[in-house]
Amino acid sequence: MSNELRSRLFEELDSIQFVDPHTHINALDPTSSHLGDILGYHYYTELAHSAGLTTQQIEDAAESPRELVPILIEKFGCLDNTIQYSWFSEILSGLFGIEEALDSSNWEQIFNQTESQLGAPDWCDQVFEKSHLKAVFLTNDFDDPLAGFDTDRYIPCLRTDDLVFHLGKPETVSRLNQASGEEVTNRQTLDKAIEKLFEHFKANGARACAISLPPGFQPESIVPGRAEKAVDAILKKGIQADTADQAAVSKYVFWKLAQCCDEFKLPFDLMIGVNRGVYTDGVYQGQDLYDSRVSLIQYRHLFNHFADVKFPISVLASVTNQELVSYSWIFPNVLTNGHWWYSNTPTYIEHDAAARLEAVPRNKQIGYYSDMYKMEFALPKFNMYKRILAKILAEKFVIDRRWTETDAIALGKQVLSDNSESVFGF
Amino acid sequence: MSNELRSRLFEELDSIQFVDPHTHINALDPTSSHLGDILGYHYYTELAHSAGLTTQQIEDAAESPRELVPILIEKFGCLDNTIQYSWFSEILSGLFGIEEALDSSNWEQIFNQTESQLGAPDWCDQVFEKSHLKAVFLTNDFDDPLAGFDTDRYIPCLRTDDLVFHLGKPETVSRLNQASGEEVTNRQTLDKAIEKLFEHFKANGARACAISLPPGFQPESIVPGRAEKAVDAILKKGIQADTADQAAVSKYVFWKLAQCCDEFKLPFDLMIGVNRGVYTDGVYQGQDLYDSRVSLIQYRHLFNHFADVKFPISVLASVTNQELVSYSWIFPNVLTNGHWWYSNTPTYIEHDAAARLEAVPRNKQIGYYSDMYKMEFALPKFNMYKRILAKILAEKFVIDRRWTETDAIALGKQVLSDNSESVFGF
Amino acid sequence: MSNELRSRLFEELDSIQFVDPHTHINALDPTSSHLGDILGYHYYTELAHSAGLTTQQIEDAAESPRELVPILIEKFGCLDNTIQYSWFSEILSGLFGIEEALDSSNWEQIFNQTESQLGAPDWCDQVFEKSHLKAVFLTNDFDDPLAGFDTDRYIPCLRTDDLVFHLGKPETVSRLNQASGEEVTNRQTLDKAIEKLFEHFKANGARACAISLPPGFQPESIVPGRAEKAVDAILKKGIQADTADQAAVSKYVFWKLAQCCDEFKLPFDLMIGVNRGVYTDGVYQGQDLYDSRVSLIQYRHLFNHFADVKFPISVLASVTNQELVSYSWIFPNVLTNGHWWYSNTPTYIEHDAAARLEAVPRNKQIGYYSDMYKMEFALPKFNMYKRILAKILAEKFVIDRRWTETDAIALGKQVLSDNSESVFGF
């Protein structure tokens, strides 16, 4: 009975159109050109490496999709248990109509077939339609011109990691100068340049500012004198500056971004908890891990100070999810946002989403985002989420709390679809 | 099949009379006078604030129940997913016989109807009976006269947060002087005053000493000389005293309380993990959060030293529950106690209670307490717990371990009811 | 339906022969002589102590099994909810054919009956066969002669806690001298002695090196000069040496062990997170607990440096499991290994194993080990694991992901059996 109920709820959830509130889509090249683009997603290269392919083998093959695909396939026998592998299978069946598993005997034929499907002029529209997508958020570098695409379908989002954590690199400052039209020489001109970025993004339909943060980061306001000294040091010495100055600049810029979010009325997406480059010999994008010993108490000053800024928050580890639930239940400006990266697997999604659905106001939960680089991944990732959401609604609401199916579906629709639009202001 | 089994077990558990081993009931005014008392519970004001009502709106309305209720109702559409909202629904149906949801169209009529029901002379007895309650523990300030109520039904419990953490406030010392009849001027008289409190509480039927503790607290014995200096500093300078002295006094008083628990044979309820006032602009009682990075290893000296004191322990975050399970399995004097506050939602209760039931001796688990401020909340909160307990017993014991239903119910009865009585010594 | 599916999958898993990749079996005396050996397992003594027996009572009785058994039975009424108690019941039924619960009325008769069964010349073979065991790994002291037993059935494993953490004890050095034939007087001879141990173990069929580590341990390479000074200090002053020197020696020896694992091609089992002797008055082996605030980021240098060493990792607390999943998914040389000690209970196994099965390459998961001291415990412990594995495969793979039962069983077989053999090199 429970399984049939889950299926019914899934069907209803699956009929809903929605916006994907966080992706890494390149609006000028949103879809894959061939299977190599799909299997080049870091989940497949890093898992294949973890299972035994060397980084060298993968990098050597990465230049040519017809070399990369067969060497990855060699490792499918070690990976087909993973949920990430299931995304690939569901892309094959859901978007290409291919029910067979890819293997060494059929890959070339399937490569060719899918390449031709991917080349169809309306492929991208097909993907949007089959995925029930209305629009997707982008992750734009701060110096992105935001030109040449439909900003109603591809919604700009200002990504700010470089400004906060890599201002010591000369190229960051020169990119900032160029993008803002300012000449950054001190704290004042830095402020001005950042404001210019917000003006540019806001004028081009940006709906959010976003950043990923390491577990040790603790935002706080830096007094102007201290900030000036630190900014001067960074501009002069770059990454040779004292670590104390670098840390002060990070905090200063972060706080400035929050001020701009306040002024320009943009939600500030915080993605909390990643350590970059932990595995130094890993494949591209497969080097980052984390220390799960992080607490949202580190953000208390931020949440208290910026009462009018919405902070949709993603946490990297499931052990931080209860804090996220509690902080979202107490702070009006803290919202739950998706299931990020290492927590984007069914066991953790189910535990974390269930806890949110029963304790956080329903208008403050952004259920899911795909985090995808290529449009083809929206379908399987959101389907995974919708199946879990249907399971939770079936078991925890319809069965345990005797909700009607109609009410359960309405709750599902709100976290899957409505809140993305209300929070980011459509 | 599993659902029917759960129902059968729930029915059996629901027929059991029990004591609620931790509440904030005012024995002189235990029940609500009107819906405003019920909806004034911090869960509703903080969730409504989180969903968009301002603190100011809530505080302005709080003076008058007929203003508070309708503004809270405005936000029910954002909160009706929460388990806390379900408690309110179950109060309406289970205690007042009202099956409709409260909304802007019917609230005044329901307010009036329930006000009249609440005014019945036997209302409190009705609530005890419908809730299957035999008695409830109180949370008494250390200077509570403990007079004017039936201490068999309302069981005194000495709450000690003020003594440990706020001895630097002049009013704490003057309240202590008055309550104890001592003149606290140094460590010796402080000790004596505390002993007097225990004598008073013990003489009036107190069954426990209790305290809530921040995540950073680490109990240890303070040598007399150090303690004397620190107590002198606090008595002289109050909250202007050195933080080191304040910390030493907190540890000293805490240790003294444990000594008194030993001497007076009272269990010492520890509620571990809350940071007070994290959200400074939150509503009343809706400002406290936590840092989940806490470990029971911080309490090793305490548990080793006071082998004869029972420590029923509540942890704020589910991520600490496994430590609680393990420490209760190893230390004879450590017991599991309820599901506290931010962990008092079904997903966390189920995960945490299941882990306890399979690894902690069954005589050392106090299953649940309501933590309520008004008697009407025992019914829905304990019903929530009993449903989860029935689910765990059904799935993990009857199905997975092939227990008989009779044996499963006996285990449920022990953690729901028997242990509260044996641990606190009825 | 789900229950029948679970049963079918369990039956298939239960027909598989496998190796137990971590035990504390004494190869010269692998089975129990009487019920006292079985109930003397620390799980029963520590739980009985936790439930009320004093350490003294247990130690006094421990000399004589006919005294120990009846005093433990007295506490069974407090322990029969625990999964550990269920292991004992399943030993009685599965190995001895006894379906009754042991109690004060029947224990002597059962003691006698089982003593006679345990005395059968083929008892050990019976246990291997009924448990479906092919072989078990041992935990050998570094000075174990490894003589007198069949190393195909009892597989040596070099346990190294003493070398890393107790080199300051004179007996450790003298045992090391004797075992290695070296005279350890400085860093160079220490290195040489350790290498000799590896030669000895490798020559005698050892398949792994293993160690348990406290939560604060952070491996790193110690420069030779510093290491020399620290080793000299330890050899001269023993446990009176500076704690900084002791810490440096621990890190130095640990790193040296990793180098030897690299050179001798042995996996290095890391069991991360235990604090020894937390409960000072606990029963034998019932004194250790933990601080769950530990992160695998502490091991980043190790994992990066020793790319060719396999690190099968056990974590003590379920809250560290997600890190283990993520690090195993990224680092080729990190593998998941069993469900250790305080995480070896169904609720935590289910949550942790499910997360692994859906995100870690299937060839990198060693599903379970028994950690047993006496052969009789393999049957109930592995049965517990197989039931949970069957539940996960049924619910998360066959139902949620529409896998065939055949595919699900193949995945189960791989983590239960195949990987132990491939990882440890059979």
| Cα separation values, A58 from A360, B39, C301, Å | 43, 60, 23
The chains in contact with chain B, meaning 3 or more Cβ pairs closer than 8 Å, are A, C
Give the pLDDT band (50/70/90) at residue A334: very high
Cβ pair B71, B58 in contact under 8 A: yes
Q: For residue C420, give every residue at least 6 positions away whose Cβ sits within 8 Å of its Cβ, in sequence order, or none.
A: C18, C19, C20, C21, C366
For the record, the structure tokens of B8 come out as 């059968």
Any A CB within 8 A of B105 CB: no
Any B CB within 8 A of A308 CB: no
Q: Is the pLDDT of residue A426 over 90?
A: no
For the record, the structure tokens of B375 come out as 């008697």
Option in C52, C289, C347 nearest B355 (CB): C347
d(CA B159, CA B208): 9
Q: At how many degrees (to 10) do helices A55-62 and A42-50 cross?
A: 150
State how many domains chain B has: 2
Neighbours of A418 (CB within 10 A): 18
Beta bridge mates, C272: C213, C315
| CA B133 from centre of chain | 16
Q: Is the pLDDT of residue A64 over 80?
A: yes
Task: Choose the final residue of a domain: A84, A102, A118.
Answer: A118
Count Cα atoms within 13 angstroms, Cβ side, for A121: 0
Q: Is B171 exposed, middle or buried (0-12, 13-18, 19+ CB in 10 A)?
A: exposed
Chain C residues close to A345, C-beta within 8 Å: 325, 355, 358-359
Give the pLDDT band (50/70/90) at residue C174: very high
Cβ pair A323, B290 in contact under 8 A: yes
The model's pTM is 0.98
Q: Which domain holds residue C113?
A: 34-118
Cβ pair B279, A304 in contact under 8 A: yes
Which of A291, A326, A333, A389 is most worth mutating to test chain B (most B CB atoms within 10 A of its CB)?
A326
**Owner of token pair 């010349």:** C121
d(CA A156, CA A135): 11
Q: Are residues A19 and A64 in the same domain?
A: no
Q: Are residues C58 and C86 in the same domain?
A: yes
Any C CB within 8 A of B404 CB: no
Task: Choose the final residue of a domain: B79, B97, B118.
Answer: B118
For the record, the structure tokens of C386 come out as 């197989």
d(CA A392, CA A387): 9
d(CA A8, CA A398): 12
| CA B119 from centre of chain | 27
For the record, the structure tokens of B386 come out as 């009993």
Which amino acid type is present at position B55? T
Mean pLDDT in residue range A294-309? 98
Q: Are residues B227 and B338 in the same domain?
A: yes
Q: Are residues B109 and B149 in the same domain?
A: no
- Cβ contact, residue pair A363, B78, below 8 Å: yes
In SS3 terms, chain A reads as CHHHHHHHHHHHHCCCCEEECCCCCCCCCCCCCCHHHHHCCHHHHHHHHHCCCCHHHHHHHHCCHHHHHHHHHCCHHHHCCCHHHHHHHHHHHHHHCCCCCCCCCCHHHHHHHHHHHHCCCCHHHHHHHHCCEEEEECCECCCCCCCCCCCCCEECEEECHHHHHCCCCHHHHHHHHHHHCCCCCCHHHHHHHHHHHHHHHHHCCCCEEEEEECCCCCCCCCCHHHHHHHHHHHHHHHHHCCHHHHHHHHHHHHHHHHHHHHHHCCCEEEEECEECCCCCCCCCCCCCEECCCCCHHHHHHHHHHCCCCCEEEEECCHHHHHHHHHHHHHCCCEEEECCCHHHCCHHHHHHHHHHHHCCCCHHHEECCCCCCCCHHHHHHHHHHHHHHHHHHHHHHHHHCCCCCHHHHHHHHHHHHHHHHHHHHCC
d(CA A425, CA A332): 16
Any C CB within 8 A of B290 CB: no
Q: How far apart are the first and last CA of chain B?
A: 39
Chain A residues close to C332, C-beta within 8 Å: 49-52
Q: Is C15 exposed, middle or buried (0-12, 13-18, 19+ CB in 10 A)?
A: exposed
Give the pLDDT band (50/70/90) at residue B154: very high
d(CA A12, CA A156): 30
pLDDT tens digits, B170-195:
999 999 999 999 999 999 999 999 99
Chain B's closest residue to C275, CA to CA, is B297
d(CA B88, CA C42): 47
Mean pLDDT in residue range B308-331? 98
User: What is this model's ipTM?
Assistant: 0.98
Which of B1, B296, B297 is most worth mutating to test chain C (most C CB atoms within 10 A of its CB)?
B297
Q: Which residues of A105-142 are buried (b: 16+ CB within 10 A; e: fewer)?
A: eebeebbeebeeebeeeebbeebbeebbbbbbbbbbeb
Q: Are residues B154 and B81 in the same domain?
A: no
Chain B's closest residue to C76, CA to CA, is B361
Chain C's closest residue to B330, CA to CA, is C50
Q: What angle do CA C84, C87, C93 make, to 5 degrees?
A: 150
Q: Is the pLDDT of residue C238 over 70?
A: yes
Which of C310, C356, C363 is most worth mutating to test chain A (most A CB atoms within 10 A of its CB)?
C363
Instruction: Provide the pairing of β-strand B208-213 with A208-213.
Output: unpaired
Chain B residues close to C87, C-beta within 8 Å: none
Q: Is the pLDDT of residue B1 over 80?
A: no
Closest Cα in chain C, distance from residue A289 (Å): 7
Q: Residue B413 maps to which CATH number?
A: 3.20.20.140
- Cβ contact, residue pair A329, B293, below 8 Å: no
Q: Are residues C337 and C294 in the same domain?
A: yes
**Owner of token pair 């013990």:** B202
Neighbours of B130 (CB within 10 A): 13
Give the pLDDT band (50/70/90) at residue B426: confident
* Dihedral angle, C-alpha B35, B38, B44, B48, nearest 10 °: 20
Give the pLDDT band (50/70/90) at residue C1: low
Q: Are residues B97 and B8 in the same domain?
A: no
**Mean pLDDT of chain C, nearest integer:** 97
d(CA C8, CA C390): 8
Task: Choose the final residue of a domain: C50, C83, C118.
Answer: C118
Q: Are residues B271 and B205 in the same domain?
A: yes
Mean pLDDT in residue range B396-404? 97
Q: Are residues B83 and B173 in the same domain?
A: no
Nearest one of A344, A290, A282 to A49, comparing CA atoms: A282
Chain B residues close to C290, C-beta within 8 Å: 297, 323, 326
pLDDT tens digits, A130-164:
999 999 999 999 999 999 999 999 999 999 999 99
Nearest one of C179, C206, C336, C203 to C266, comparing CA atoms: C206
Chain B residues close to C279, C-beta within 8 Å: 300, 303-304, 330-331
Q: Are residues C262 and C277 in the same domain?
A: yes
Mean pLDDT in residue range A303-328? 98
Cβ pair C52, C165 in contact under 8 A: no
pLDDT tens digits, A367-403:
999 999 999 999 999 999 999 999 999 999 999 999 9
Chain B residues close to A293, C-beta within 8 Å: 293
Any A CB within 8 A of C401 CB: yes
Q: Is the pLDDT of residue C426 over 90?
A: no
Q: At how many degrees (to 10) do helices C378-392 and C83-96 cross?
A: 110
Any B CB within 8 A of C345 CB: yes
Any B CB within 8 A of A301 CB: no
Give one DSSP letter per residue of B333-389, joined into a string. Answer: TEEEE---GGG-SHHHHHHHHHHHHTTS-GGGEE------SSGGGHHHHHHHHHHHH
The overall longest dimension of chain C from CA atoms, in Å, is 68
Which of A358, A398, A403, A404 is most worth mutating to test chain B (most B CB atoms within 10 A of its CB)?
A358
Give the pLDDT band (50/70/90) at residue C320: very high
Chain C residues close to B329, C-beta within 8 Å: 46-47, 50, 342
For the record, the structure tokens of A108 come out as 């070339």
d(CA A139, CA A155): 9
Q: Is C30 helix (H, G, I), strand (E, B) or coil?
A: coil
Cβ pair B272, B313 in contact under 8 A: yes
Give percent of chain B with pLDDT exceeding 90.
98
| CA A14 from centre of chain | 21
Give the pLDDT band (50/70/90) at residue A1: low
Option in B52, B279, B347 nearest A355 (CB): B347
Q: Is C172 helix (H, G, I), strand (E, B) or coil?
A: helix
Which of B46, B88, B345 is most worth mutating to test chain A (most A CB atoms within 10 A of its CB)?
B345
d(CA A104, CA A110): 11
Q: Are residues A281 and A156 in the same domain?
A: yes
For residue C223, which phi and psi values (nearest 5 degrees)? -65, 145
- Cβ contact, residue pair A347, C327, below 8 Å: no
Q: Are residues A87 and A233 in the same domain?
A: no
pLDDT tens digits, A351-361:
999 999 999 99
Any A CB within 8 A of B90 CB: no
Q: What is the DSSP letter of B293?
A: -
Neighbours of B7 (CB within 10 A): 13
